[in-house]
Amino acid sequence: MADEREDVYSRAVRAGKRTYFFDVKSTRGKDLYLTITESKKHTHEDGSATYEKHKIFLYKEDFEKFLDGYQDALAEIERLRGTGDYVQDDGRRQPESGPSSSDDLRFEDLG
């Protein structure tokens, strides 16, 4: 039996050595979901290239929460740019204080 899922929409955004792919797909039940793929090109000394890819799946029940989080993060970036709350330290940008969100998430919580 043929796979009834289908690609509905795709857009590639090139940004230096990275390309971001935004792909809207349809499930067998005709629900839509989004995959976001980051592809980064690595060129080797012999001239050959490989691509490192990372993908996330975003399902319809999460669209609004994802968008809210994304918009909040962009607003915080704009706020920090305007206030200078970030300082250079060993070539990395570091906050002078901890997270401003009440959703304090630690990477240890993800494992």
pLDDT over 90 percentage in the chain: 59
Q: Which residue has the tokens 């289908």?
A: 6
- What is the pLDDT, as a whole number, of residue 1? 43
What domains are defined for the chain? 6-83 (3.10.450.700)
pLDDT band at 20 (very low <50, low <70, confident <90, very high): very high
**Six-digit token pair at 65?**
């929460």
Q: Residue 41: helix, strand or coil by DSSP?
A: strand
73 alpha carbon, distance to own chain's centre: 12
Q: CA 74, 35, 108: angle at the middle one, nearest 5?
A: 65
pLDDT in tens, 38-59: 999 989 999 999 999 999 999 9
- What is the pLDDT, as a whole number, of residue 83? 85
Of the candidate ranges 11-15, 35-39, 99-103, the one whose mean pLDDT is the lowest: 99-103
Max avg pLDDT among 2-6, 62-66, 87-91: 62-66
In eight-state DSSP terms, residue 67 is: H
